[in-house]
Structure formats: structure tokens, C-alpha cells
């Protein structure tokens, strides 16, 4: 099986931080859960405020992901379900 098909991907209950673009030397990030936009951020990097905002919406059994030019990457350990 090709490596790309074996990669883990977020599901609709995971929180995803999307790197959207660079604007005036700053990065633009959007935090989503499923189709819901939770927040937007602008800064020089992903930073702790973006990651903290994502963690506030995580539920047991789910993770925070980053989607950028490198694809999807899990940013935290999978939270165990109760």
C-alpha cells in the first residue's frame, strides 16, 4: 500500500489548525473542529496561543492536528477516551 494511503488523518471530532497563508510577513492560522471555525490567528509562528486555543476544544479520544504544506501532522498525543 502506498505510504500516503497509510497516513493517519483527522476525523470530524479532532481539532485542526490550518496554516492558510503568509500575509505581510505574518502567518495566518484557522482553528477548526469539523466544519466549525473556532478561531483565526495571525502571527510569526503557530505559537502557544494558537495551540492553547485548539486544546480548549479537544475531547477525550481525539487530537490536535496541524495542516500545512507538509500535510497533516498530529501535534499532541491522542487523548484517551473515558
Portion of the chain with pLDDT greater than 70, in percent: 84
Report the alpha-carbon distance of residue 79 to residue 82 in Å, rounded: 9
Is position 44 within any domain?
A: yes
In the numeric block, the cell 503557530 is attached to 46
Is position 2 within any domain?
A: no
Is position 47 within any domain?
A: yes
Structurally, how many domains does the chain consist of?
1
Is position 77 within any domain?
A: no
Is position 33 within any domain?
A: yes
Residue 56 sits at φ, ψ, to 5 deg, of -65, -20
Q: What is the pLDDT of residues 31-69, one digit of tens each?
A: 999 999 999 999 888 888 899 999 999 999 899 999 999
Domain, as residue range, for 42 = 14-72
C-alpha neighbours within 13 Å on the C-beta side of residue 41: 21
Amino acid at each position: 500500500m502506498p505510504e500516503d494511503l497509510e497516513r493517519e488523518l483527522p476525523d470530524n471530532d479532532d481539532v485542526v489548525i490550518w496554516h492558510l497563508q503568509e500575509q505581510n510577513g505574518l502567518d495566518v492560522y484557522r482553528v477548526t473542529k469539523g466544519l466549525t471555525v473556532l478561531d483565526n490567528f495571525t502571527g510569526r509562528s503557530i505559537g502557544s496561543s494558537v495551540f492553547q486555543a485548539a486544546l480548549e476544544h479537544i475531547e477525550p479520544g481525539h487530537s490536535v492536528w496541524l495542516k500545512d504544506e507538509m500535510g497533516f501532522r498530529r501535534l499532541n498525543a491522542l487523548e484517551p477516551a473515558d
